[in-house]
Homo-oligomer: A and B are copies of this chain.
Amino acid sequence: PSGRILCLVNGAFSERFAHIASMCGREVDRYDVAWGQVHAIPQLEERLAMRKYSGVTVVHSETSTGALNDVRAVSDCAHRHGLVCLIDSVSGLGGAELRFDEWNLDYVLTGSQKALALPPGLSFGAASTSFIDRANATQGRGVYFDLVELDAYARRNQTPSTPALSLFYALEAQLKSIATEGLEARWARHKAMAARTQEWLIKISDETGKKLNNIAPLGSQSPTVSAIRLPTDLPAERFTAAVAKRGIVVGNGYGKLKSSTFRIGHMGDHTVESLEGCLAACSSVLRS
C-alpha cells in the first residue's frame, strides 16, 4: 500500500531495507537501535501511535550483526495499528523459526545462499493473500517484482520470465533434504550451533583472558550467524587471515563493524560437529 514507511534499523541489511523503501519513492522514518541490538515492542508501539504509517520493515536475522528480531511480535504490533509488516529473512529462513501462516505474516523474503544452503542466484518471497490483494490495488509496482503477476504465474506453476533453471534442480534436491530433516529439527540444529558458539566464546575468553563478546545480547542471538567483538588490539582482518591459514573461512565484520568483529556463519548444512573445526581454528589463533 502507498504511504509512509517505518523502517526498523539495527544493522547493514535493515539499513539497506530503509534505503530500498526510500529509492522506491517512499517517505521513510527510521527507528534505529545500536548495531547488535534488537527493537523494543513498546517503543515501536509508541512510534506507530504517533504518526500514520502504511507499513513497517524489519530484518529477522541481521546478517551483519547476528541479532535476531522477534518478527512475530513486530508483525503483531504492526497489525494492531492496521499496517502491513515486510520481513527480510535472508539469513533467517531455513535456520531460525518462522511460521508464515500461524504467525499471520504479510510478506517474507529470503535468498538461496544462506540458511537454505543453495547456490546463490535465487530469491524467494512469500506473500499472504491479503497482501497480494493490497498490491493489486497499488499503482507503480513495476514489472520484475510485481507480486500480482508473480502470484498469477505461480498458480500455474510458472514464472513470468525464464528463471535460473539449473538452480531449480539444486532447489528440488535441497528441499527434499530439508523435508527429510524436518523444519523443527533444522531450527533446533541451528539453535544448538549458536549455543555452542556462545559457550565457546565464554570459555575461550576465560582461558585466554582476551575480551571477546557476542555483540547481540543473550536471547536475541541469531541461530544462523554470530558476530563477535574482538579485543581492540586484534583487528578482524588479522584474525580472519590467521584463521584462514588454518583452512577455515570466518567473515570479517560487515560495514562499520568490519575491523572490530568477526562473524561465524553457522548455518545451512553445517552441524555442531562441523562447527567444532571452525571453533578449534579460532581458539588456536586466540591462544597464539
Chain A residues proximal to chain B, CB less than 8 Å: 19-20, 23-25, 111, 113, 119-122, 139-146, 162-167
Contacts and interface: CB of A to CB of B under 8 A. Distances in A.
A19 B19 CA distance: 26
B167 A121 contact: yes
Given A121-B121, A140-B25, A142-B24, A164 B162 contact: no
Contact of A164 (B23, B121, B145, B146): B121
A265 to B, nearest CB: 13
A25 B119 CA distance: 34
A27 to B, nearest CB: 13
B143 A144 contact: no
A142 B143 contact: no
A166 B121 contact: yes
A141 B19 CA distance: 12
Contacts of A167: 121, 164, 166-167
A19 B143 contact: yes
Contact of A120 (B19, B140, B142, B165): B165
Contacts of A111: 162
A146 to B, nearest CB: 7
A267 B164 CA distance: 19
A162 to B, nearest CB: 4
A127 to B, nearest CB: 17
Per CB-CB distance, the 5 closest pairs between chain A and chain B, nearest first, are A121-B164, A119-B166, A120-B162, A20-B143, A23-B143
Nearest to A160: B16
A140 B141 CA distance: 12
27 contacts: A23-B141, A23-B142, A23-B143, A23-B146, A24-B140, A24-B142, A25-B139, A25-B140, A111-B162, A113-B162, A119-B164, A119-B165, A119-B166, A120-B163, A120-B164, A120-B166, A121-B121, A121-B164, A121-B165, A121-B167, A142-B142, A144-B144, A144-B145, A164-B164, A166-B166, A166-B167, A167-B167
A113 B159 CA distance: 15
A99 to B, nearest CB: 26
Nearest to A121: B164
A120 B167 CA distance: 9
Contacts of A121: 121, 163-167
Contacts of A145: 144
Nearest to A114: B162
Contacts of A24: 140, 142-143
